[in-house]
Amino acid sequence: MAINDEDTTRSRTLSGSVALVAGATRGAGRGTAVALGEAGATVYCTGRTTRQRRSEYDRPETIEETAELVDAAGGEGIAVRVDHLEPAQVEALVARIDADHGRLDVLVNDIWGGEKLFSWDKPVWEHDLQQGLRILRLAIDTHLITSHFALKLLIRRPGGLVVEMTDGTREYNAEHYRLSAYYDLAKTAALRLAFAQSEELAAHGCAAVALTPGWMRSEMMLDAYQVTEDTWHEATAGSPHFVAISESPRFVGRAVAALAADPDLQRRTGGSFSSGGLAREYGFTDIDGSQPDCWRYMVEVQDAGQPPDPTGYR
């Protein structure tokens, strides 16, 4: 598909809105922060890696870079170093947002940090116990701590949105084992947390959803395939399906922006969605103008043992 100018320079549908992307250093969090910036939002970008201090990931991406990308996209990016396992830090962050703006319209719980901790297809009795428990703390406790403080600000106005970022839709994860017991539980918990929060937010006219990207070309994934965002079509290592159907981090971010701008958002609350599924409904595209539909592709092509072919899926 040709690049869509309307997508590359997003209309300011969220001008005046305030968003918190918790876990915005890289990957889906960074892509979401930038997409919200495209839509004109003020975006608080949190994470543990700054230009002065790195997390245990020991990667070069920083929250300051994310905030600058938000600015360049047309929004206002504000970088704040926060460890979301520390309640006092999260409470201070929300107090700052309240003092600066008196409102919060969008909360994206994208905190993860477990990429280097899980072992693929290793049963629970063989998996490192401390690393497994750390995964659950990073993937579940952080989201609960952040929601505990942030939702008190979000519910002041009807129309607020909470997005629980995860891996896999409710339908897919219910039928498939996801890598390890710890990973499986972490990603399924986010789905249930979105539903639970939707019940609690209903009386305040706010919504909560679970959202998953597809095969995302995160910074870590590009490194793993030894390609860049400009050369990803040339990837030869690993699964050929990656080349067929992968998406940029901005794609799932545009799904968040579309949800936040939907005047009939309440019809979505409690639901589980994918970037590709929402793209078909809202009409947004990835940065290359395509609409990759990874989860439908996973079921109909990859899991069915068919040869890699993106025809009809992007």
Q: Which segments of the chain does DSSP mark as H helices, in order?
A: 5-8, 27-38, 63-73, 87-101, 129-136, 142-154, 170-175, 181-201, 219-224, 240-245, 249-260, 275-282, 294-297
More confident residue, 231 or 138: 138
pLDDT the model gives residue 3: 38
Q: In what order do the strands lie in the sheet with 18-22?
A: 76-81, 42-47, 18-22, 106-109, 161-165, 207-212, 272-274
CA dist list (Å): 7 to 28, 155, 260: 18, 30, 16
Stretch 154-171: mean pLDDT: 96
Domains of the chain plus CATH, in order, are 11-214+249-288 (3.40.50.720)
DSSP SS3 for 187: helix
User: Is the pLDDT at 277 greater than 50, yes or no?
Assistant: yes
Stretch 43-61: mean pLDDT: 89
Stretch 41-47: mean pLDDT: 98
Stretch 199-225: mean pLDDT: 93
Per residue in 70-85, pLDDT tens? 999 999 999 999 999 9
- Please tell me the distance from the alpha carbon of residue 35 to that of residue 42, in angstroms, as a whole number: 11
User: Is the pLDDT at 2 greater than 60, yes or no?
Assistant: no
Report DSSP letters for 32-62, one per residue. HHHHHHHTT-EEEEEES--SS---TT--S--
**CA 64 remoteness from chain centre:** 18
pLDDT the model gives residue 236: 62
Mean pLDDT of the chain: 91
299 strand-pairing partners = none
**pTM reported for the whole predicted model:** 0.93
Comparing CA positions, the residue from 89, 111, 103, 96 lying closest to residue 30 is 111
